[in-house]
Amino acid sequence: MNSDRAKVQAELDSVEAELKVVELQLAELLKKQARLTSNRKQLLRRLEKPCDSTQPSGSGPAMTKQELLRYEKDDFPWSTELKQSLKDVFQLSKFRPLQLKAINLSMSGKDLFLVMPTGRGKSLCYQLPAVCSEGFTLVVTPLVSLIEDQLMYLKSIDVEAVSLNASSSKEHAKMVLAEITDTKVPFKLLYVTPEKIVKSKLLMSRLEKAYSAGRLSRIAVDEVHCCSQWGHDFKPDYKLLEILKRQFPKVPLLGLTATATSSVLKDCQKILCVPEPITLTASFNRTNLYYEVRFKDSNSDDSISDISALIKERYKDQSGIVYVFSQKDAETVSADLQKNGVKVSPYHANMNPEDKSQVHRKWATNKIQVVVATVAFGMGIDKADVRFVIHHTISKSIENYYQESGRAGRDDKPADCIVYFGFNDIFRISAMVAMEKVGQQKLLTMVDYCQNVDRCRRSVIAVHFEEAWDDGGCNKMCDVCRHGNDYITVDITQHAKDVVQIVELAGSLDEKLTPLKVTEAWMGKGPAKRRKMIQTTTLSRLEVEAIITSLLLQGYLGEDFSFTPYTTYFYLKLGGKAPLLKNQAHSITMKMRRTGLDANTVKVSQVKTKEGKRSGDKAANSPVTKKIKKDL
Ligand SMILES: Nc1ncnc2c1ncn2[C@@H]1O[C@H](COP(=O)(O)OP(=O)(O)OP(=O)(O)O)[C@@H](O)[C@H]1O
Ligand SMILES: [Mg+2]
Ligand SMILES: [Zn+2]
């Protein structure tokens, strides 16, 4: 009787385990269904409104594509003056894509959101209308340094502009506040930081007077994505800018950003109380930029000598930026590069303002070749001839990467964007973004961009920004396209089981393992007691790290944190999909670049399917390549 019960119990356990697997599969299928449905919707929409994906798209409530076309013309009452001022004041010969349309829409009094890649010339879209309109334009900008750059530029072309911000002197503020209500306002643009709008009642009351007198002609909110917590650069004061439309409902508002997904934009519209703006989105494809990912080997990180060689040889006498993770890294990487004979200076938020602007100036005037910077060297960096942006550490999201790397090649000439991808860096950043809403999710999109070997890097960026992508749009201007089909699909099911077993075992012993500990345990470096209970591997460190990263990306492993007042610790735990491994029929694959795979690796990794032919390109740079190749 008892043994009967035990048998039934065992069967019940097995059925329950199987049910759990089915539930997970169902959840997976539902996710897939949602993805496909949304994909189908997008494709249907494209069929209904055929448009060239590389062309800017426009959308708006009461405006059809046909009507929008009208704004690309130059027969408006203001057109002659626009053309004249473009040449005489801004000393530019022609508009870049989307500028004229945006300017005409704004001149017609429409609320507008303009999404245009970094460095494409968004500022002109409010500066030129400001010059060609009565009254003045209010420009909200997040940083004082950005305001200073703009004022300097406008002064150089004789456009009157003033600013109010935390560093304005009392006398200056008094003068500007008085001028706002002058019947003949002596400036065309008033730059303010959002906290001024939110905190200065006096400024608001002056603006209201100017508004009633019809002299507040336009409002521009630069870096508008800062409104949304879903964006990559949320700034709390931006969230309170609803006051602008509430107090000045008749003034056209222009929101500008280089990076915003449609959901971030929707959020911004809601926050700013702009119910039905027209949205113009320029293509994200920067055709002159070459994108490449190189792998950092945790065993022998020679990224510094690699970067030094690049700068001294390939980029000899050319200007560039090396982005690093932390202030400390800025100092050490800068010192290391200097030792290797490269003219560099560090730049980070903790430096005093004079030192920062000195570095910026020296770099802008080519007295130093490279700035080794944290993200503090960011908004407003507008040097046209930056030939390379190298990331010594990955960015915390694709948005950040796009923006940071986008500082290269603003003059439309070829430039390189290279990122060094290291396993340990994932977790350094992970710990940093642990408190951010969707921080982890965004980081994984960046990791996916780096780990990817089979999709054009441009297509990954385009898909991220919800832009329809045409595969011919890269022209071999990324390392993946250059390598062609030089990758293989590897079955990693058994590896996944081994790794999951290590994490599971730790869990049952109430132990938490850092990614480094999991790596070492799997490579047989842990305590002897554990070694006996797990399946260790002979794969190389780089392969082990690539597989663990892939398991993290695919949801077989997950992330866990613990916080102390001083630091955040990062551990690996079982991911939501780990139970699927109990199903014998379940298999997991990952794609790896083939060049550099040695015979042994292929055997151990159980190649399942082979795709494509060896391209013959020896400059491969693969997660399974033992050493980073010097692709000079
Ligand atoms: N029509 C044009 N022709 C040539 N150069 C232009 C044109 N419009 C703008 N520029 C130049 O492009 C550079 C970048 O412009 P701007 O600073 O407005 O970029 P942005 O889109 O605001 O970028 P970010 O997102 O980094 O702020 C400037 O040096 C500007 O003078
Ligand atoms: Mg700008
Ligand atoms: Zn490509």
pLDDT tens digits, one per residue of 470-515: 777 899 999 999 988 889 999 999 999 999 999 999 999 999 999 9
| Model confidence at 375: pLDDT above 80 | yes
Averaged over 144-172, what is the pLDDT? 90
Range from 82-86, 262-266, 618-622 carrying the lowest mean pLDDT: 618-622
With vertex at residue 276, the alpha carbon angle to CA 274 and CA 278, rounded to the nearest 5 degrees, is 105
The residue whose two tokens read 């003068």 is 175
Distance (Å, rounded) from C-alpha 261 to C-alpha 267?
A: 10
Measured torsion, CA atoms of residues 204, 260, 437, 571, in degrees rounded to the nearest 10: -150
CATH no. of 71-281: 3.40.50.300
Please check whether residue 334 is in contact with residue 372, taking contact to mean a CB–CB distance below 8 angstroms. yes
Torsion of CA 349, 350, 353, 356, to 10 degrees: -60
- Residue 21 sits at φ, ψ, to 5 deg, of -65, -45
Residues 324, 501 contacting (CB under 8 angstroms) = no
Query: Is residue 406 in contact with ligand 1, taking CB distance under 6 Å?
Result: no
Q: Which residue puts its alpha carbon closest to atom 10 of ligand 1? A: 121
What phi, psi does 241 have (nearest 5°)?
-75, 0
Judge if the beta carbon of residue 385 lies within 6 A of ligand 1.
Answer: no
Pick from 529, 575, 585, 524: nearest CA to 548: 575
The set of residues, in sequence order, having a beta carbon less than 8 Å from that of 29 and lying 6+ positions away, is none
User: How sure is the predictor about 58, in pLDDT bands with cuts at 50, 70 and 90?
Assistant: very low
Identify each DSSP E strand in 53-116 by its residue range: 57-59, 112-115
The sheet carrying 589-593 orders its strands as 589-593, 487-491, 607-611
Rounded CA Rg of the chain = 27
Gap from CA of 525 to ligand 3 centroid (Å):
39
606 and 490 in contact (C-beta within 8 Å)? yes
The ipTM (two decimal places) reads 0.98
Rounded Cα gap, residues 595 and 317, in angstroms? 32
Ligand 1 atom at shortest distance from the alpha carbon of 258:
25
DSSP letters along 326-380, please? SHHHHHHHHHHHHHTT--EEEE-TTS-HHHHHHHHHHHHTTSSSEEEE-TTS-TT
According to DSSP, the β-strands at 136-140 and 216-221 are: parallel
Q: Is the CB of 382 under 6 A from ligand 1?
A: yes
Q: Is 258 in the pocket of ligand 1 (CB under 6 A)?
A: yes
User: Is the domain 289-484 a CATH 3.40.50.1170 member?
Assistant: no
Active site residues: 122
For residue 190, which amino acid is it? L
Give the pLDDT mean for 30-51: 65
Instruction: Find out whether the beta carbon of 95 lies less than 6 Å from any atom of ligand 1.
Output: yes
Predicted local distance difference test score (pLDDT) of residue 595: 59
Per DSSP, the chain holds a count of helices (H) and strands (E) of 24, 19
Q: Whose CA is nearest to atom 26 of ligand 1?
A: 118
Identical fold, 71-281 and 489-593: no
Number of the ligand closest to the Cα of 291: 3
User: Are the C-beta atoms of 478 and 291 separated by less than 8 Å?
Assistant: yes
Q: Across the chain, what does the average pLDDT equal?
A: 86
State the pLDDT at residue 184: 86
Q: What is the DSSP letter of 325?
A: S
Q: Which amino acid is at 603?
A: K
Q: Which CATH architecture has domain 489-593?
A: Orthogonal Bundle (1.10)
Q: Judge contact between 179 and 185, C-beta under 8 A.
A: yes
Is the beta carbon of 121 within 6 A of some atom in ligand 1?
yes
For ligand 1, pick from 89, 99, 122 the residue to mutate: most ligand atoms within 8 Å of CB: 122
Regarding predicted confidence, which is higher, 600 or 404? Answer: 404
- Rounded to an integer, the average pLDDT of 425-434 is 91
Tell me the CB-side half-sphere exposure of residue 355, using CA atoms within 13 A. Answer: 9
pLDDT of residue 107: 97
DSSP single-letter state for residue 532: H
**How remote is the CA of residue 459 from the centroid of ligand 3, in Å?**
7
What are the tens digits of pLDDT across the range 84-141? 999 999 999 999 889 999 999 999 999 999 999 887 899 999 999 999 999 999 999 9
Between the CA of 144 and the centroid of ligand 3 the distance, in Å, is: 37
SS3 assignment, position 255: strand
Name the 3-class secondary structure at 191. Answer: strand
What's the token pair of residue 34? 């949602």
Work out the average pLDDT over 190-207: 93
CB 222 within 8 A of CB 141: yes
What letter would DSSP give residue 591?
Answer: E
pLDDT of residue 484: 82
Residue nearest ligand 1's atom 24 by CA: 118
Whether 122 lines ligand 1, by a CB cut-off of 6 Å, is yes
Contact 257, 223 (CB under 8 A): yes
Ranking 10-24, 136-150, 170-184, 561-575 by mean pLDDT, the lowest is 10-24
Q: What CA–CA distance (Å, rounded) separates 284 from 589?
A: 31
> What pLDDT was estimated at residue 185?
87
Q: Residue 34, Cα to own-chain centre: how many angstroms? A: 24
405 within ligand 1 shell (Cβ under 6 A): no
Mean pLDDT check: name the lowest of 48-62, 345-359, 485-499.
Answer: 48-62
Instruction: Please indicate whether residue 117, judged by its CB atom, sits closer than 6 Å to ligand 1.
Output: no
Query: What's the confidence (pLDDT) of residue 393?
Result: 97
Reported as a pLDDT band with limits 50, 70 and 90, residue 452 is: very high
Task: Label residue 432 by pLDDT band (50, 70, 90).
Answer: confident
Q: How confident is the model at residue 619 (pLDDT cuts 50, 70, 90)?
A: very low
Beta bridge partners of 557: 574
Cα angle, residue 443 at apex, residues 442 and 448 outer, rounded to 5°: 100
Q: First vs last Cα of the chain: how many Å apart? A: 75
Residue nearest to atom 15 of ligand 1 (CA): 121
Output the CA 142–ligand 1 centroid distance in Å.
18
pLDDT for residue 331 is more than 50: yes
The answer to whether 458 and 407 are in contact (CB under 8 A) is no
- The SS3 call for residue 280 is strand
Q: Whose CA is nearest to atom 7 of ligand 1?
A: 121
What is the band of 630 on the pLDDT scale with cuts at 50, 70, 90? very low
Q: For residue 508, give every residue at least 6 positions away whose Cβ sits within 8 Å of its Cβ, in sequence order, or none.
A: none
**Mean pLDDT to the nearest integer, 405-414:** 92
Give the closest ligand to the alpha carbon of residue 127: 1
Report CA(451)–ligand 3 centroid distance (Å).
14
Give the number of whichever ligand sits closest to the CA of residue 94: 1
The reported pLDDT for the residue numbered 333 is 97
pLDDT at 179: 94
- Band the pLDDT of 423: cuts 50, 70, 90: very high
**Counting beta carbons within 10 angstroms of the beta carbon of residue 164, is it exposed (0 to 12), middle (13 to 18) or buried (19 or more)?**
buried
**Which of 454-457's residues contact partners 24+ apart within 8 Å by CB, and which partners?**
454/480, 454/485, 454/487, 454/591, 454/611, 455/480, 456/480, 456/481, 457/291, 457/292, 457/293, 457/481
- For 290-303, what is the mean pLDDT? 90
CA pair distance 349, 359, nearest whole angstrom: 12
d(C-alpha 264, C-alpha 270), whole Å: 10
Q: Where are the domains of the chain?
A: 1-41, 71-281, 289-484, 489-593
- Closest ligand to 282 CA? 1
Most confident of 332-336, 360-364, 624-628: 332-336
